[in-house]
Chain A
Amino acid sequence: MTKKKGFLDFVSESTFIHILLSIILGFLVGAAFLAVMGLSVGAAYGRLLNSVTSLKGFSYVVVYSVPYIVAGLSVAFSFKTGVFNIGAEGQFVVGSMAAAVVGILCGSLPKPLLIPLCFLAAMAAGALWGIIVGFLKTKWGINEVLSMIMFNWIAFYLSNFIAGIPAIKSEGSAEATKNISSNASMLFSKDFIKSVGLCPTANWGILVAILVMLLVWFIIEKTTLGYELKAVGYNKFAAEYGGINVNRSILTALAISGALGGLAGALQLMGMGSRISIFSSQEGFGFAGIVVALIGVSNPFGVFIAGLFYGALMYGGSKLNLVGAPTQLINVIVGTVVFFIAISVIFRRLKFLKKAPKAPPKPPVSADKKEVQGT
């Protein structure tokens, strides 16, 4: 549907109710687990709530959320354009490594130059990761999901390899890169953080995330590019018939999606991490992006909120062990939420929801909507 989607539309959509219900169910299931383990539900959830509602706590949530929001936007963009960017993970990794390399090697550049340069490098690396997969798909028909999963691993080992190069590797004993130059850091000034009482890693990243959200919304809803990409996503046959170059569109969609994935990596590095460890396993920011895109129903505004929610769970969850509850509880909740969103069609069958006020009258030809569209 191409109807303009502002924030209010997102709220008024009935899918919003389904998502809210899914989230509630997620917490209920989490509560059941706590109860089975003999832990206090109130204490655990109270701790969760407390840790994210203080000013400092909330600033942590925002900081945590930024990479999830941007990775979520990357995946949401791909959903809108008919491809499934399961490769956001790999793009995130190559993006953050590209930003790290620039941030270490060009550290003497002034801040206003170095930060955009790091972003550009990260986006170029992520876009490249997307384009290679798109090329395999359009040239030889290789399913993008398969090649993306492999490219996630290629990114993983490539990152570990680069992190071991002497010019990049930390001079100390740490199994990580050097720290990026302070000129590439996006942290607020120490004084500002102290005077307001934010968390020590408070940074500008959230503003970038908001900009990216607006940009994605603008591209998808307002531009001819978005029109083309959506047309190909919905019905590539009609798009081709209408004269749209389908292969070019798929490449463009994957490149933009990949660039966003890469940017998410840069934001994580320049806002929080400052350096990249040699990984022992995939970190999962890109996969979290899939979850965030699903919870946000691929609507840029929805993804933004879903990203904050996810960030809150991640940060709040890390405090759960203070009350003796396992941090893995968060995974149970998130998993349950996604599970219920995925099967949200069941909610639509529930009687009590049917009484909810219906939006505009449905047309009389409902059978027409269901048929095979040659896909």
Chain B
Amino acid sequence: MAKEYVDMNTPVIEMRNIVKKFGDFVANDGINLTVHKGEIHAILGENGAGKSTLMNQLYGLLKPTSGDILVNGKKIEMNNPRDAIDAGIGMVHQHFMLIQPFTVTENIVLGTEPQKGIKLDMATARKNVVEISERYGLSIDPDAKIEDISVGMQQRVEILKALYRGADILILDEPTSSLTPQEIVELIAIMHNLVKDGKSIIIITHKLKEIKESADFCTIIRLGKYIGTVDVDDVDENDLASMMVGRKVSFKVDKQEQTPGEVVLDVKDLHCKDYRDVEIVKGLNLQVRRGEIVGIAGIDGNGQTELVEVITGLRKGVSGQVLVNGVDVFNKPPRFGFEHGVSSIPADRQKHGLVLDFSIEDNLILQNYEEDPFSKKSVLQRDPIFQHATESIENYDIRPPKSEKRPAGTLSGGNQQKVIIAREVQNDKDLLIAVNPTRGLDVGAIEYVHKYIVDQRNKGKAVLLVSFELDEIMSLSDIIDVIFDGQIVSSIPGKEADENTLGLMMAGGGKSQ
């Protein structure tokens, strides 16, 4: 570990007493951050604590109301990301800044394209991209279009983009939230390699386990205030969690034994193709009964995304049946499935889950706007809609309060997710599908989300959980179905599962049913 610095060493980054106000709202209230060369420094805080705001100031996206930013000992005024990039700072945002119809290569070289005369030299660009992806062990398809690749792959492209620009100081905003457990291990190895090369990494996260595994130091922010900086070796996960939320946090999911009822979701011999027109779900069978949570464990790209898209009606399948309470919703529009008992928390909350320009109250009625009391004779009834939002904001702890009329796009990721959960849970359907429901959320929010999912199960709903977080699958599921190569290859009771055997099965090493 690269910790033997003396204070004489000039820190590569120093942020002094940073205050950032938005009107009356103080997002950062006197925050200090010191990062030295070759250090992995974690920034820990709940959703909306001000971590992203702090980093956006370091990256030139926002200007501090007061306070100084020093890079390599020199005071620097960041007016825009260009200044930050020139100072050797690269940032990978939690929500990707990629151009969807462009290829991986085009996105990575964007703004620094190699040229031949005035022509874009795509061959060299592609060569450079392949080279850099191999150097850092982040394999990608340089010719794939962003809109066609998975969230996990898009994340890799973002990381490569920063590396391509030769950043010495990398800011990673929730970098692991979309990666599979295997990819997380790889990423941590990559991070360690990078700091050995003399780079410095700031990682914004609320995953305590990853902080313990990767970071040297950790700075904690709570409600915009600086709580402190600790040496990660001196603390354990419980210490970090209570510093972050200011109270004791329970990691255990409380779940009573219960006997499941009749089958709600019955998927039979399902076949479907992915965006490349290649068969990806290959004769999949799956059942979810009342009062049970079935977790789908698998590595991204084995068909789980497409499976959910077919069940929810967003993708046309090739053949098979998707019975919900006995009604076949296969290849029917999303509305049909919804009316026959399907609700879902989508994987991409900003693309599918929310209309970001709509207010929270309008997002909360996305499926019910035509129903009484939200509309009468096709006229929206603003009072019931507002009241519904007020109740949801209170019951689901959506922050900030009194945000009924605020566009959903202005909420933090965790609170956006709470809006979706509030909507889907209140739809009160027999089947709830949740895809990576805690992606990018902090422990406090995860606790809430898990509680609501278990509540649904306890109320006798059938829950299908798809998640790349093995911990989440293991702690929530009554039954774990492992998906590999478009099929469920094994099905084991949740309480008998352990990470190693699951990991093996997910990699195709499990025995077939």
A interface, CB within 8 angstroms of B: 1-4, 222-228, 230-231, 234-235, 237-245, 358, 360-375
Q: How far is the CA of A108 from the CA of B56 in the complex (A)?
A: 71
10 residue pairs bridging A and B, Cβ less than 8 Å apart = A1-B358, A2-B359, A222-B380, A237-B351, A237-B352, A243-B367, A364-B52, A364-B53, A368-B409, A369-B409
A228, A239, A364, A371, most chain B CB atoms within 10 A: A364
- Which of A227, A245, A373 has a CB less than 8 Å from the CB of B333? A245
Question: A361 touching B23 by the CB < 8 A rule?
Answer: yes
Interface size on B, residues (CB 8 A): 61
Give min CB distance, A215 to chain B, whole Å.
13
Can you name the residue of chain B whose Cβ is closest to the Cβ of A358? B23
Q: How far is the CA of A372 from the CA of B62 in the complex (A)?
A: 19
Question: B411 touching A363 by the CB < 8 A rule?
Answer: yes
Q: How far is the CA of A370 from the CA of B379 in the complex (A)?
A: 32
Can you name the residue of chain A whose Cβ is closest to the Cβ of B366? A242
Interface stretch (choices B96-104, B161-169, B195-203): B96-104
Contacts of A235 in B (CB 8 A): 351, 354-357
Question: A361 touching B25 by the CB < 8 A rule?
Answer: yes
Q: How far is the CA of A368 from the CA of B147 in the complex (A)?
A: 19
Give min CB distance, B342 to chain A, whole Å.
10
Given A238-B354, A241-B352, A370-B97, also A363-B406 (CB < 8 A) = yes
Tell me if B350 counts as interface (CB < 8 A to partner A): yes
Can you name the residue of chain A whose Cβ is closest to the Cβ of B101? A375
Contacts of B478 in A (CB 8 A): none
Q: How far is the CA of A284 from the CA of B97 in the complex (A)?
A: 39
Please name 20 further chain A to chain B contacts, defined as beta carbons within 8 Å, in addition to the given A1-B357, A371-B96, sorted by A numbering.
A2-B405, A223-B378, A224-B370, A224-B378, A225-B378, A235-B354, A235-B356, A237-B352, A241-B366, A243-B333, A243-B367, A361-B23, A362-B23, A363-B410, A364-B50, A365-B53, A367-B52, A371-B93, A371-B95, A372-B97
Question: A2 touching B366 by the CB < 8 A rule?
Answer: no
Q: How far is the CA of A344 from the CA of B174 in the complex (A)?
A: 34
Contacts of A230 in B (CB 8 A): 355, 358
Tell me if B375 counts as interface (CB < 8 A to partner A): yes
Give min CB distance, A198 to chain B, whole Å.
37
Count A-B pairs with CB separation below 8 Å.
149
Tell me if B88 counts as interface (CB < 8 A to partner A): no
Can you name the residue of chain B whose Cβ is closest to the Cβ of A375? B100
Can you name the residue of chain A whose Cβ is closest to the Cβ of B55? A367
- Which of A225, A237, A364, A374 has a CB less than 8 Å from the CB of B22? A364
A222, A234, A240, A243, most chain B CB atoms within 10 A: A243
Question: A367 touching B409 by the CB < 8 A rule?
Answer: no
Question: A243 touching B334 by the CB < 8 A rule?
Answer: yes
Can you name the residue of chain A whose Cβ is closest to the Cβ of B61? A367
Question: A366 touching B56 by the CB < 8 A rule?
Answer: yes
Contacts of B173 in A (CB 8 A): 367
What are the nearest 8 A-B pairs in CB distance? Answer: A361-B23, A364-B27, A243-B335, A242-B366, A371-B95, A363-B410, A374-B351, A361-B25
Question: A234 touching B379 by the CB < 8 A rule?
Answer: no
Tell me if B413 counts as interface (CB < 8 A to partner A): yes
Question: A373 touching B351 by the CB < 8 A rule?
Answer: yes
Q: How far is the CA of A358 from the CA of B173 in the complex (A)?
A: 29
Q: How far is the CA of A358 from the CA of B357 in the complex (A)?
A: 20
Contacts of B334 in A (CB 8 A): 240-243
Proximity bits, B344-362, A CB within 8 Å = 1, else 0: 0010101111111111011
Question: A1 touching B359 by the CB < 8 A rule?
Answer: yes
Q: How far is the CA of A226 from the CA of B382 in the complex (A)?
A: 14
Question: A363 touching B366 by the CB < 8 A rule?
Answer: no
Contacts of A224 in B (CB 8 A): 369-370, 375, 378-380
Contacts of B477 in A (CB 8 A): none
Q: How far is the CA of A369 from the CA of B354 in the complex (A)?
A: 13
Tell me if B48 counts as interface (CB < 8 A to partner A): yes
Given A2-B358, A358-B23, also A227-B410 (CB < 8 A) = no
Contacts of A4 in B (CB 8 A): 382
Q: How far is the CA of A244 from the CA of B412 in the complex (A)?
A: 26
Tell me if B407 counts as interface (CB < 8 A to partner A): yes
Question: A238 touching B351 by the CB < 8 A rule?
Answer: yes
Question: A223 touching B380 by the CB < 8 A rule?
Answer: yes
Tell me if B235 counts as interface (CB < 8 A to partner A): no
Give min CB distance, A82 to chain B, whole Å.
10
Question: A368 touching B95 by the CB < 8 A rule?
Answer: yes
Q: How far is the CA of A268 from the CA of B165 in the complex (A)?
A: 58
Question: A368 touching B366 by the CB < 8 A rule?
Answer: no
Given A225-B378, A242-B367, A361-B23, also A234-B406 (CB < 8 A) = no
Give min CB distance, B476 to chain A, whole Å.
23
